[in-house]
Amino acid sequence: MELLRRSFEMRKWVDAPTHALFVAVSRLTPGTNILAYCAAVGWRLHGWPGTVAALAAASVPASLVIFALAATLVRLDRYPAVRVALSLGTLVAAVLVLSSAWNLLKPYLRAGRWRFTLLISAIAGGLYLADLTPVRILLVSALVGAVMPPRGPLPSTPGNDGQARPVTHV
């Protein structure tokens, strides 16, 4: 998005506060942030036609590349070396996802919140076994977060100037 910001500011299409607003709003939408950002810029410049043009310009070229790669992969999938490479790629992706999940759970484990960690792990496992899509998982997570009781105020720690600052890590 930084390249877009520079390009749009240079053309005087979007100023810094508007860019910040578009980034914030685009991060609220599920899916790719960049498409939401492009839609916002297109809307700002030319309304609905600008939105449609921006989304087409941001998604059609990449879609065509993915289509070509998928068509090529279908033809190459019959070779054993390609199948091994795809299996290794899948294994690497799974390890990266599990590593990220572990890094997200570590602070809770260090804080002695084993029950909370087990609850989150059980929910994630159940959602996976139910074969739910990421959007449905986000909706279920939002519902669980909405009904969970608040934890109370965040603890404070003194800053360099002696003023209390909220602790932002778990």
pLDDT value at residue 169: 47
pLDDT value at residue 114: 85
Residue ranges of the chain whose pLDDT lies below 50:
167, 169-170
What's the rounded Cα separation, in Å, for the pair 137 and 139?
5
Instruction: Output the DSSP codes for 14-56.
Output: S-HHHHHHHHHHHHHSSS-HHHHHHHHHHHHHHHHHHHHHHHH
To the question of pTM greater than 0.85 for the whole model, the response is no
pLDDT value at residue 67: 93
pLDDT in tens, 76-100: 888 899 889 989 999 999 999 889 8
pLDDT value at residue 170: 44
Rg (CA), the chain: 22
Residue with token string 């790669």: 69
Q: What ranges do the domains of the chain cover? A: 1-76, 80-150+165-170
pLDDT value at residue 143: 84
Give the Cβ contact number of residue 7 at 10 Å.
11
Chain-centroid distance of CA 78 in Å reads 33
Contacts for 82 with CB less than 8 Å, ≥ 6 apart: 73, 76
Residue with token string 């999940």: 101
What's the rounded Cα separation, in Å, for the pair 16 and 13?
10
Instruction: Give SS3 for 100.
Output: helix
What's the rounded Cα separation, in Å, for the pair 119 and 125?
10
